Amino acid sequence: MPDWSSIYQSLEEHGVRVFNDTVPPIPVSGGDISAAWRLATTEGHLFIKTGPLSTAEMFAAEADGLSELSRSGAVYVPEVIAEGQCEAMVFLALEWLALEPVDAQVEHSFGEQLAELHRTTAEQFGWHRDNTIGLTAQRNTWTDNWVDFYREHRLSFQLRLAADNGFRSELQGRGARLLKRLPIYFENTQPVASLLHGDLWGGNWGCTAGRPVIFDPAVYYGDRETDIAMTRLFGGFGAAFYEAYEACWPLPDGHHERQDLYQLYHVLNHLNLFGSGYLGRAVSLMDKLL
């Protein structure tokens, strides 16, 4: 159980007062990585994440990523209220989101807003800090060339983890050949370093107060096609979203082939997080690419 008295004190230092102990925090379901709570305060409800000290960097990177997305002004993100350490745990306090059903108009707005987010760019690929994708470390070392970045800090990193986890014979030979072929997929395109959500599956966006909202990011600057590829991996996005995005900023030729390449990163990550149930999909994507 979190040390709520220490969390209350930290929140008050940020100008937020909790009502009192007669309105206890309410556990919130849905999180796989950390505990989550709804907390009533004088400023309205807050969403509180709590975790062990080992998650301190993960929480800090999430708060930093939300702030980075917010500064773009393109898509709504929950406000970061406070983060800190209390005894043997860490916490992150965010604006509470009253999520509503998503309709085609909201999806259309989100497509437009995501295209606008992607127009926020950097001179290099990466980010000023590492973060996590799920519970997996995600390296974001600034790199001049996108192919080099994606090879070393995305695919190679996951393939090394897979080898450490015992997935060798099916993946490593295919992986080595794919890494050598990587430049082929970019012969006719030069990606810009766009600000990315980084983990844009259907569970990490929604609607609040009639507008799209995104959360739980794995932020970095990279090829915008990676966000779009992730939206197609597990579903959760309708035709209105894609039509609006394409109308604002059409994807370049060859993006359908690169979609497999970008989905492979997330499938390998799921393999490393959740086990052999994702092995067949990883092998299938590699064979298709090769």
Active-site amino acid positions:
199
Residue 20: what residue type?
N
Contact 226, 194 (CB under 8 A): no
DSSP collapsed to 3 states, 266-284: HHHHHHHHHCHHHHHHHHH
**Secondary structure element (H or E) that encloses residue 135, with its range:** none
Residue linked to tokens 């437009």: 112
Estimate to the nearest angstrom the gap between the alpha carbon of 62 and the chain centroid.
9
**Secondary structure element (H or E) that encloses residue 175, with its range:** helix 172-181
- In whole angstroms, what is the distance from residue 67 CA to residue 13 CA? 20
Contact 202, 241 (CB under 8 A): no
Contact 2, 91 (CB under 8 A): yes
Contact 100, 208 (CB under 8 A): yes
Residue 182: what residue type?
L
